[in-house]
Amino acid sequence: MDPPTSPARVVKVLGRVGARGIFTEVRVESLTFPRMQMLKAVKGPVRLGDIITINDVYQDIEFPK
């Protein structure tokens, strides 16, 4: 069974991360939940405004206690 996926738009490109800089850290805004933004590490070329697919959106959400 495939994990749930969700489309997201790149809002800001923050820079390279990782031991050798192979990932790009970006701030994305979910298209299914418009006011939710999160930081993701993306492998491969990415630009501002790109639409990327995020696996398991609920894993990154921190709910208030």
Q: How many domains are there within the chain?
A: 1
Ramachandran region, residue 45 (left: φ > 0; alpha: ψ -120 to 50; beta: rest): beta
Residue 48: which CATH number?
2.40.50.140
| Domain membership flag for residue 19 | yes
Q: What is the pLDDT of residue 60?
A: 56
Tokens of 46: 């990415």
pTM score, whole prediction? 0.78
Q: What pLDDT is recorded for position 35?
A: 87
Reported as a single tens digit per residue, the pLDDT across 4-40 is 788 999 999 999 998 888 999 999 999 988 888 989 9
Domain-embedded: residue 49? yes
51 beta partners: 9
pLDDT at 18: 87
61 or 44: which carries more pLDDT confidence?
Answer: 44
Domain that holds residue 35: 8-55
